[in-house]
Structures are given as C-alpha cells and as structure tokens.
C-alpha cells in the first residue's frame, strides 16, 4: 500500500467574496411629481467583469517524527496562480511572508486576487524557491462558477508531484509451493525528499498524485501486481493498496518490480525483488559402496537462496572422507574408508537442510 499518515497535504481554500454596487437615488424638487427639468435617473450599473477573491493557503506543520514527515510546509516558498489558463500572480508562502500567520497545526497565507465572473478554472503550483522558481512540489486545479453578489467558496485539492519512488515488499522470499499475497509499499517523495503521504481527514481528491505511478513486473504470470484488489499497474493515490499475487510456482529467476512516473528519473527509482525460496535439494539422497574403492559425488542446490550452502554435520569419521566445493550449487564427494554407515547434513538458507545417507560394505572372499 502507499505510505500513510495524517494531515499530510496543504489545502488551498479560495474564498471568493462579491462586492455589491449600490445604485444612487435621484434627487427631486418639491411637489407631487418630478419636475420636467429635474435630474435624469441614473442607469443601473453594468455587470461587473471580475470580483475580489480571498485566497487562503494552509500548510500543516512538520511532524516531529522523521518517519511521518508532513508534506512540504517548510520547503514551500512560493505559489503561482493561473485563472482560465492566464497567469495571475506569484505569491510568497514562505514562513517569513508578511501574508502568512502561524495558526494551530501550521500556518496560513492569505492573498486577494481578481476572479472573473462566470465559470473559472483556477490552477496553482507550489514551488520551493521564491518567485515561482526551483522545484515544483504540488499542483492543484478546480473549476468554479463565480457569481455577482454572492460569497463564493472554493477548495482546491493539492496533489504532490512525485520525484522519487521506492518499492518495498513485506517479504522478498516466501516459500515456493504456497500461493500468497504479499503487500507492497509504494513510497513517493517530492523533489525536496518530503514523503507524499495520506491526509486521512481529507477528501479523496487531496490524496492523488499529480503524476501517477506505473508499476512494471518481470513476471506478470506468476507474480502480478494487484492495485485495490484488481490486477493493475497504475498507482494514482497515496491511499491505493498494492499487493503481489505470488502463485507458489517454482521460479528459476527472481521477479523484478520497478516503477515510473512522468518526470521521474530512473536513477530516482528503487525497485524491489521477489525470489521465493525452495527446499534444499540433493541430486541423490543416498550413496552406497560395495567395496573400499572409488568415490561418488552428490550435488546440492536451493532455489531462491543467494548465499552459500554448507556441510553442517557429519558422522562419517573413519568410514568415509567427505570433501566439498562450490557454493550453490554445492558438490559433496564421498570416498569410502571402511565398512559402515554414516550421514552428512547440508544446510542452506531459510532454515532449509538435507541429509545424505552413506553406506559402505565390502565383500570378503575366504579361500579354503
């Protein structure tokens, strides 16, 4: 699943207020009716082309725990706003801005903009440098109909811009032969290494990635990715739940998972590897000699284990000599010394082991 924590995204609230223009009444002379030479009544005021808009941005305070950092408040420096595709202005949203004030849980920054009457599309970008420069940390957009004479309220969800991605599997080495669902954590960071995390109290629109993440999988047959319970590869929100459906197959090579997103360099992506482990397997479980001569070799191997196999115990002293070579595969050579039975144990990874039984007999010919 994607990384989760509360109050992670800054929320932008646009409060749009309308100024009412009052018409002027005409003055009149005395008497019961207007004088023919009196003042002509003024015409109604023309429709106003724009209204003042109060734009307020809230940035949550940084969390004290490094494992659940808030999303970008300390590194946010400026906000650029466009209305209907036309750049409006750039605003200072840094902690030292005179337009910002400390409030419970963070800081708010308030500005006034001119919002055209009618249906308007507001688009904004949060930057980490002054004047709308540096790295983009988040984007947001919303369409709202602005009416004259009405107080209009608008909330614009901010979506974090993914710059780095790390994939983490809950287990990288499940046992072969058993189908299992393995949780995958998709951790997305912005350009300032802030984790783009989940705002649990916010609407779903506030937890979307500005640039959705696409997962890739080297073995979609035996270990496909599942997003929100359905086979898929696109992770579009911090709340998306991702798992890998391993079917228990014996795999000769590991399964590689990677991720991509628009604007993200491959060098900023850390993938994950799944290599289910198998049992430690011997090419023969027993060796037998009928004379004190010759030697026999047995191969040991374990799929999904990258370490070395070892000879852990032996009871063959005086019965046979045991030599070994290699890592995984691992070769055991047995040479008989005298009649008897014994065994050796080979150990591998994930608490796996196997025992090789050895029997040495000799035929004694008696001449009378």
Of 274, 305, 338, the domain-final residue: 274
Q: Take residue 365 and report the two structure tokens written for it.
A: 């010919």
Phi and psi torsions of 204, nearest 5°: -60, -30
User: How many structural domains does the chain have?
Assistant: 3
Residue 336 included in any domain: yes
Residue 5 included in any domain: no
42-46 long-range contacts (CB < 8 A, ≥24 apart) are 45/21
CA distance 83 to 123: 6
Do 270 and 218 share a structural domain?
yes
So what's the pLDDT on residue 354? 95
Do 144 and 15 share a structural domain?
yes
Of 108, 130, 160, the domain-final residue: 160
CA distance 334 to 286: 11
Residue 232 included in any domain: yes
Do 15 and 144 share a structural domain?
yes
- Give the burial class of 202: count Cβ atoms within 10 A of its Cβ; 0-12 exposed, 13-18 middle, 19 or more buried: middle
Do 341 and 305 share a structural domain?
yes
So what's the pLDDT on residue 194? 86
Of 137, 160, 183, the domain-final residue: 160
Q: What is the CATH number of the domain that holds 64?
A: 2.60.40
Do 253 and 216 share a structural domain?
yes
Residue 185 included in any domain: yes
Global pTM reads 0.72
- Asked whether the beta carbons of 232 and 37 are under 8 A apart, the reply is no
Kindly report the number of other CB atoms within 10 A of residue 109's CB atom: 23
Q: What is the CATH number of the domain that holds 213?
A: 2.60.40.10
- Asked whether the beta carbons of 207 and 9 are under 8 A apart, the reply is yes
So what's the pLDDT on residue 7? 38
Do 241 and 184 share a structural domain?
yes
So what's the pLDDT on residue 284? 96
Do 130 and 70 share a structural domain?
yes
Contacts of 35 (CB under 8 A, 6+ apart): 28, 29
Do 182 and 223 share a structural domain?
yes
Domain that holds residue 326: 281-360
Do 209 and 92 share a structural domain?
no
Do 178 and 146 share a structural domain?
no
Do 170 and 82 share a structural domain?
no
Q: pLDDT of the chain along its 368 residues, tens only?
A: 554 333 344 444 444 333 322 232 333 333 344 434 444 444 444 445 777 666 777 776 544 333 232 344 467 899 999 999 999 899 998 888 898 888 776 777 888 777 898 899 989 899 999 999 999 999 988 888 887 877 666 667 778 899 999 999 999 999 999 999 999 999 999 998 888 877 776 677 778 899 999 999 999 999 999 999 999 999 999 999 999 999 999 888 899 999 999 999 999 999 999 999 999 999 999 999 999 999 999 999 998 888 999 998 889 999 999 999 999 999 999 999 999 999 999 999 989 999 999 999 986 656 66
Residue 31 included in any domain: no
So what's the pLDDT on residue 20? 25
Residue 246 included in any domain: yes
Do 296 and 261 share a structural domain?
no
């Amino acid at each position: 699943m994607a990384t989760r924590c509360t109050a992670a995204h800054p929320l932008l609230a646009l409060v749009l207020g309308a100024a009412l223009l009052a018409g002027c009444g005409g003055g009149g002379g005395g008497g019961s009716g207007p004088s023919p030479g009196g003042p002509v009544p003024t015409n109604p005021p023309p429709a106003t082309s724009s209204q003042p808009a109060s734009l307020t941005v809230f940035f949550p305070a940084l969390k004290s725990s490094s494992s659940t950092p808030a999303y970008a408040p300390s590194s946010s420096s400026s906000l650029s706003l466009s209305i209907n595709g036309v750049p409006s202005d750039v605003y200072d949203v840094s902690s030292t801005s005179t337009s910002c004030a400390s409030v419970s849980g963070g800081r708010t920054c308030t500005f006034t903009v001119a919002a055209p009457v009618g249906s308007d599309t507001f688009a904004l970008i949060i930057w980490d440098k002054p004047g709308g420069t540096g790295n983009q940390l988040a984007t947001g957009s919303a369409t709202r109909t602005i009416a004259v004479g009405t107080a209009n309220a608008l909330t614009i969800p901010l979506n974090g811009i993914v710059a780095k991605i790390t994939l983490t599997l809950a287990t990288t080495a499940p046992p072969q032969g058993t189908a299992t669902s393995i949780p995958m954590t998709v951790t997305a960071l912005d350009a300032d290494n802030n984790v783009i995390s989940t705002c649990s109290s916010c609407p779903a629109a506030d937890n979307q990635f500005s640039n959705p993440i696409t997962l890739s999988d080297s073995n979609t047959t035996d270990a496909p990715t599942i997003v929100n319970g359905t086979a898929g590869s696109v992770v579009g929100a911090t709340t998306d739940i991702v798992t890998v459906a391993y079917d228990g197959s014996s795999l000769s090579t590991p399964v590689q998972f990677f991720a991509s997103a628009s604007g993200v360099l491959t060098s900023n992506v850390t993938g994950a590897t799944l290599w289910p482990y198998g049992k430690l397997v011997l090419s023969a479980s027993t060796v037998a000699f009928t004379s004190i001569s010759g030697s026999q070799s047995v191969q040991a191997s374990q799929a999904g284990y990258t370490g070395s196999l070892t000879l852990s115990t032996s009871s063959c002293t005086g019965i046979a000599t045991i030599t070994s070579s290699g890592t995984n595969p691992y070769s055991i050579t047995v040479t008989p010394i005298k009649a008897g039975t014994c065994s050796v144990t080979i150990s591998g990874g994930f608490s796996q082991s196997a025992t090789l039984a050895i029997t040495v007999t000799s035929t004694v010919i008696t001449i009378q």
